[in-house]
């Protein structure tokens, strides 16, 4: 049971970091194409997905 909790923790940490990076990239890209909200939404979705993947990979590296 402890192993599952650790995996979830790493996945949530990775997702939060990915969402932060996605928002910042979305704002920067949105300024160039004059459509910030759509770019922020894409940035959050891509960032959270990549963050989950990063969280799983971190757990694999530590085990």
Q: H or E stretch including 13? A: helix 2-33
Average pLDDT for residues 28-45, to the nearest whole number?
86
Note the pLDDT of residue 2.
59
Note the pLDDT of residue 15.
83
Give the model's confidence band at 3: pLDDT under 50 very low, under 70 low, under 90 confident, else very high.
low
Q: How far apart are CA 56 and CA 1, in angstroms?
A: 16
Average pLDDT for residues 47-51, to the nearest whole number?
84
Note the pLDDT of residue 9.
79
Q: Is 10 exposed, middle or buried (0-12, 13-18, 19+ CB in 10 A)?
A: buried
Share of the chain above pLDDT 70, in %: 84
pTM of the model: 0.70
């Amino acid at each position: 049971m402890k192993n599952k909790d650790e995996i979830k923790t790493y996945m949530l940490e990775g997702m939060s970091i990915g969402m932060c990076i996605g928002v910042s990239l979305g704002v920067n890209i949105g300024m160039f194409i004059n459509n910030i909200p759509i770019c922020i939404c894409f940035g959050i979705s891509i960032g959270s997905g990549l963050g989950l993947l990063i969280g799983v990979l971190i757990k694999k590296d530590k085990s």
